[in-house]
């Protein structure tokens, strides 16, 4: 590696922390007394400080001394954080014994968020949603997936997706947008679910042409849409060259994991009721299982995902917040990691990989979630003595500095 003729070799250099590179199949990839450098938004040096190709002050325009640990920036690969209003009353109803299905069939649930989201202007929707994204960023998330699905008509789905893009620009982080119009049946289509799926498929090319869709999702469930209807949505996505994800097997086994895999889906999410046949299909097609312990916790579920089967068959397990107003009002991916350890018995290493390497894979983002030369320079400096602390502490502030593409987006430079 040679110096650039127009200046220092690196744009920035962090010295002294211990790195958890996650570069490799097992372990944290620990490098003590490390150096981490970037250039043009990409990592350009990852290794021991003693192996730097020169004096630090001569190598970088900016040198930062750091302690604690540095990990890749966290990747929240499943959120619904763009919405208006809240559903705190439903939380009370569930505590009194009402089920998720009871609330949905009584006109609550997703449809109640649709009403509030439709009524909000684009500016108001951004005003309400931005603090949720800031909270996730403040706890180390540098890449967010944000779904639509509370608009359920062309204009309001467009409004949600534009808001998601605006959040990325405002915070200086990477946002992946997912089209989830097949989330619930809007009131104007009551009793006409097939007609609504026709509309969902018709809107998709228009929104894709506007650059608003990175992936396509659906809620395949008894209170959502059937496998046949989901297949129609996915066939439209495939014709447009868009990757798919799926809310799969959360409340029952409709073969969602296998359906997602049949379309080479990036991920199958929730997966509490996923069968062994679906696990095998996911393994064959490289479909990631996205675990959502926040919803599991809030709904007080007892049916665990087939975790041992995922491990046995080599299905990567990601961890995400599922941040949404009804079933997972969770504003910390680190807290989701803790819940994954407590409820699903993931190890801290599995949880960290689930919120970095595997979460990035669930978004089709091969250039992040790891500290490796050439990867996106997204990383977090944590005030911890060991990575297990990221899953140990319940709440609190552990992230000292958060960088996205080599830019400090959270924390003090001093």
Binding residues for N-formimidoyl-L-glutamate: 150, 324, 326
d(CA 393, CA 48): 29
- Beta pairing class for 215-220 and 245-248: parallel
Binding residues: 78, 80, 87, 150, 183, 247, 250, 322, 324, 326-327
Q: For the purposes of burial, counting CB atoms within 10 Å of the CB of 53, is it exposed (0-12), middle (13-18) or buried (19 or more)? A: exposed
For the annotated binding site for Fe(3+), the residues are 78, 80, 247, 322
What is the pairing mode between strands 141-147 and 30-31?
A: unpaired
Binding site per annotation, positions for Zn(2+): 78, 80, 247, 322
Closest CA to 197 of 157, 234, 161: 234
Structure tokens of 36?
């981490």
**Using CA atoms, how far apart are residues 295 and 52, in angstroms rounded to an integer?**
45
Q: What b/e readout covers 238-248, taking b as 16+ CB neighbours within 10 angstroms?
A: eeeebbbbbbb
| Other residues' Cβ atoms within 10 Å of the Cβ of residue 412 | 7
Q: How far apart are CA 16 and CA 64, in angstroms?
A: 9
Give the pair of three-digit tokens for residue 116.
């509030």
Give pairs for 239-243: CB < 8 Å, separation 24+.
240/204, 240/205, 240/208, 242/179, 242/204, 242/208, 242/213, 242/214, 242/215, 242/216, 243/214, 243/215, 243/216, 243/364
- CA gyration radius, the chain: 21
> Which residues have a Cβ under 8 Å from the Cβ of 57 and sit 6 or more positions away?
63
CB-based contact 237:204 (threshold 8 Å): yes
Show the tokens assigned to 194. 């097939």
Binding residues for 4-imidazolone-5-propanoate are 87, 150, 183, 250, 327
In b/e form, how buried is each residue of 80-112, taking b as 16+ CB within 10 angstroms? Answer: bbbbbbebeebeeebeeeeebeebbeeebbbbb
């Amino acid at each position: 590696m040679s110096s650039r003729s127009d200046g220092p070799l690196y744009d920035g250099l962090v010295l002294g922390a211990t790195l958890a590179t996650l570069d490799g199949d097992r372990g944290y990839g620990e490098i003590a007394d490390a150096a981490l450098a970037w250039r043009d938004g990409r990592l350009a040096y990852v290794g021991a400080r003693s192996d730097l190709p020169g004096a630090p002050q001569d190598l970088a325009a900016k040198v930062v001394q750091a302690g604690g640990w540095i990990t890749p920036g966290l990747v929240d690969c499943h959120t619904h954080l763009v919405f208006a209003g809240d559903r705190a009353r439903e939380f009370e109803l569930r505590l009194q014994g009402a089920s998720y299905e009871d609330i949905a069939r009584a006109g609550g649930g997703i449809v109640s968020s649709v009403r509030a989201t439709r009524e909000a202007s684009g500016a108001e929707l951004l005003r309400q949603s931005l603090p949720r994204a800031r909270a996730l960023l403040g706890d180390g998330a540098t890449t967010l997936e944000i779904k639509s699905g509370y608009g359920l008509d062309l204009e309001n789905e467009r409004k949600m997706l534009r808001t998601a893009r605006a959040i990325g620009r405002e915070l200086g982080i990477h946002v992946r947008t997912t089209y989830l119009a097949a989330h619930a049946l809007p009131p104007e289509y009551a009793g006409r679910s097939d007609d609504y799926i026709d509309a969902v498929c018709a809107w998709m090319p228009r929104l894709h042409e506007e650059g608003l869709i990175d992936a396509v999702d659906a809620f395949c469930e008894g209170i959502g849409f059937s496998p046949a209807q989901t297949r129609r949505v996915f066939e439209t996505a495939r014709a447009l060259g868009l990757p798919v994800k799926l809310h799969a097997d959360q409340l029952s086994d409709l073969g969602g994991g296998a359906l997602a895999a049949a379309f080479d889906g990036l991920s199958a999410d929730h997966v509490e009721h996923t069968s062994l046949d679906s696990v095998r299909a996911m393994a064959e097609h490289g479909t990631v299982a996205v675990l959502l312990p926040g919803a599991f916790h809030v709904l007080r579920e007892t049916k665990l995902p087939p975790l041992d089967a995922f491990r046995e068959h080599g299905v990567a397990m990601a961890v995400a917040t599922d941040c949404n107003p009804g079933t997972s009002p969770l504003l910390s991916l680190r807290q989701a990691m803790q819940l994954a350890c407590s409820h699903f018995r993931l190890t801290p290493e599995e949880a960290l990989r689930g919120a970095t390497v595997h979460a990035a894979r669930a978004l089709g983002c091969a250039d992040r979630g790891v500290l490796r030369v050439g990867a996106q320079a997204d990383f977090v400096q944590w005030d911890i003595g060991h990575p297990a602390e990221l899953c140990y502490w319940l709440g609190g502030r552990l992230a000292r500095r958060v960088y996205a593409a080599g830019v400090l987006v959270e924390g003090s430079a001093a």
